[in-house]
Structure 1
Amino acid sequence: MSLMDTDTQNQVRELLSTVSTPVTLHLFTQEFECGYCKETRQIAEEVSALSDLVTLEIHDLQADSELAASLNIDKIPAIAVFEGDKDFGIRFYGIPSGYEFTSFLEAILLVGAGSVELEKETLAFLEALDEPLHLQVFVTPTCPYCPRAVSLAHMLAYASPKITADMVEVTEFPHLGNRYHVMGVPRTVIGEEVYVEGAVPERMLLDKLKAAAQRS
């Protein structure tokens, strides 16, 4: 049974019509003991079927452990969004459902259409960045503000090879929620020590990025 009704399929198909370069979705899963792996696979399959330029590749976390390690993927379900074979460090951990379905589509459009809307000051900071920064945006599918935070983090990753950005569905990975003291969502953790609460404006996030860069 399809997760999307006909109207939703048509809307997604129209959105994906703006994709101009091939996008590859690398889905990491396994057959046993993986909450939401089956549902995440179905979402990825249904979305990729709506565009000739979106390809889905499915990997088993254990059988394809070398590939997973090379992409720093250590939990499932996981989706890495590539432009062809180019990795921008854009990741989804957990099911991209509910409001996060929007984030998933926006990541495909970002990589497949290449349109980044970031302020000049942000781009200058990214250009000068020496050390890598890892962003984890903790979300839940029922959070209407979370996609804004996820999309901004993914834009930063797309714009800079020094940035990697993960959407993390916190209820699927409670140990990470505990580790990073996630009491509400969205919560963006930069590195291990710097964090920001809520879907903040770009300039406020930039200040946090600068603080994290000074610590690294």
Structure 2
Amino acid sequence: MLDDTMKTQLKAYLEMVEQPIQLVASLDDGAKSQELRELLAEIAALSAKITVVDGADARTPSFAITRPGSDVSVRFAGIPLGHEFTSLVLALLQVSGRAPKVEADVIEQIKALDGEYSFQTYFSLSCQNCPDLVQALNLMSVVNPRIKHVAIDGALFQAEVEALKVMAVPAVFLNGQPFAQGRMGLEEILAKLDTGAAARDAAKINAKDAFEVLVVGGGPAGAASAIYAARKGIRTGVVAERFGGQVLDTMAIENFISVSHTEGPKLGAALEQHVKEYDVDIMNVQRAEKLIPASSLGGLIQVQLASGATLQARSVIVATGARWRSMNVPGETEYRNKGVAYCPHCDGPLFKGKRVAVIGGGNSGVEAAIDLAGIVAHVTLIEFDSQLRADAVLQAKLRSLPNVAVITSALTTEVHGDGAKVVGLSYKDRTTEQVHRVELEGIFVQIGLVPNSEWLKGTMALSARGEIEVDARGQTSVPGVFAAGDVTTVPYKQIIIAMGEGAKAALSAFDHLIRLPAATEAAA
């Protein structure tokens, strides 16, 4: 199961196991059970503190990681390799008593949760969004014995997936009821469970002193801005809805100079860790709702948050990024996560053997169609333009696949469903005006990005596309407010460009601050 390199790396991690743990395996005679048996045996062979014992659970193959003499337990239903291998390693260490790398106040918040919580998370091994959620719930179940969690590979337990109508991962159920859909971190889970947390956090934020530079957004542009500002020795804060931003939804990154290959979640974690090396006040899981410009030169700019809190700063850098663009057709919203999806890597395995469509003929759309063709029965790629816009090498690969059909000059007009799931879509042939219907079970939308700037309308100059208009220094139309990354008019929405623009915006903000009149500066 594990190659020599993985065994060497795992052995090094398992040297940190603190107390004996057991892997309680529930297996049958199936091929997947034999694979899991082999994996567990290999893990046990790498540490004298780990043993494998037989168990009984309704799901096979599955196994629990337990600490004898305690009620600490974490369960996986399936074989947690792929993106979930890290989740497995962390679970082994944490169940053994290894302290998680989480702030002490967060641990206390988890321990204080009252009631009984039984979580089920459905994931796919190719989903880069799933591990954060799986790891967060595993950690919570280790810290608080009233919290139970089982992580389930949807591809191996398709009967459950179909019965629960799970058509997108990660999908979380709490005590048998839907709890969450999509990427979610520990802070977001706690905010949803601990109803008093938002008010407490808002009170803490309101009590903060004004920042010299306040960065709104925690993606590549925001992280770069925070680092460059903090290195100037000025009071810097970052407020973000989710640290890492859109990059967390990116599978493979192969054009980040000097790094031949990485993945979005890995890069996102590295960005956050780098920012934390500086004296930066990070306020995560907070959404900005309004920006109020300074009333006079050198006065304080205000940023109001959805929580009701307000932050003040002498300069602000907006780096709120962008999100996937929707088709905006009837049925899309109704069947989101019920057949309408936006991440082929995450949700593709749930459509094994089914017919799907990909909307969009750029690089993202064609790459999605190529990936899905190896999983599903048939892919129909629909492109609005008269020709595909993807790179030639991708188009050649796409057209070589026998189970892919390409339709150009087509406008998707409606998503059809039966009330529970997608059953088809309609498109209009732009050359003949004739409307056609395609019967299918899944639709993957890959038509670009829309800037997260709605909260700034009427406050500063935006382009017709909603992008923040900036000059060569990143300055917006509002004095003291700068912007960087995918939310701006800067062309080419690339990670490396966003980082450069973030650094430039921070340097521009610092230059703005040091040029404020001395009298005004003292008054501020």
TM (normalized to structure 1)?
A: 0.81
Number of the residue aligned with 1:170: 154
CA distance in 1, matches of 2:31, 2:191: 36
CA distance in 1, matches of 2:180, 2:18: 34
In structure 1, list runs of 5 or more residues that go unmatched.
60-67, 212-216
1:1-216 equivalences under 5 Å are 3-31=1-29, 34=30, 36-59=32-55, 68=56, 73-118=57-102, 122-210=106-194
The residue type equivalent to 2:34 in the other structure is K
CA distance in 2, matches of 1:141, 1:160: 27
How many Å apart are 1:79 and its aligned residue?
0.7
Kindly indicate whether the alpha-carbon contact (under 8 Å) linking 1:75 and 1:93 is maintained by their aligned counterparts in 2.
Answer: yes
4+ residue runs of structure 1 moved beyond 6 angstroms?
A: none
| Equivalent position SS for 2:65 | strand
Kindly indicate whether the alpha-carbon contact (under 8 Å) linking 2:65 and 2:95 is maintained by their aligned counterparts in 1.
Answer: yes
Q: Which has the higher helix share?
A: 1
How many Å apart are 1:77 and its aligned residue?
1.0
Which whole-Å deviations, capped at 9, do the CAs of 1:4-59 have from their partners, x for residues lacking one? Answer: 2222111110011111111111011122xx45111011111111111111111124
Alignment RMSD (CA, Å): 2.0
Kindly indicate whether the alpha-carbon contact (under 8 Å) linking 2:133 and 2:186 is maintained by their aligned counterparts in 1.
Answer: no
Of all paired residues, the percent bearing the same amino acid is 26
How many Å apart are 1:153 and its aligned residue?
0.6
Aligned length: 195
**Cα 1:121/1:190, change in 2 over 3 Å:** farther
| Equivalent position SS for 2:60 | coil
Which whole-Å deviations, capped at 9, do the CAs of 1:37-87 have from their partners, x for residues lacking one? Answer: 11011111111111111111124xxxxxxxx3xxxx321111111113423
CA distance in 1, matches of 2:151, 2:31: 16
CA distance in 1, matches of 2:153, 2:72: 20
Which whole-Å deviations, capped at 9, do the CAs of 1:144-186 have from their partners, x for residues lacking one? Answer: 2222111111000001111001110011112221233321111
How many Å apart are 1:107 and its aligned residue?
0.7
How many Å apart are 1:95 and its aligned residue?
1.6
Kindly indicate whether the alpha-carbon contact (under 8 Å) linking 2:138 and 2:149 is maintained by their aligned counterparts in 1.
Answer: yes
How many Å apart are 1:210 and its aligned residue?
4.1
CA distance in 2, matches of 1:123, 1:14: 26
Number of the residue aligned with 1:64: none
**Cα 1:191/1:199, change in 2 over 3 Å:** same
The residue type equivalent to 2:79 in the other structure is I
| Equivalent position SS for 1:37 | helix
**Cα 1:194/1:119, change in 2 over 3 Å:** farther
Q: Which has the higher contact order (CA 8 A, sep 6+)?
A: 1
Number of the residue aligned with 1:63: none
The residue type equivalent to 1:18 in the other structure is M
In structure 2, list runs of 5 or more residues that go unmatched.
196-524
CA distance in 2, matches of 1:84, 1:161: 14
CA distance in 2, matches of 1:85, 1:35: 32
TM (normalized to structure 2)?
A: 0.35
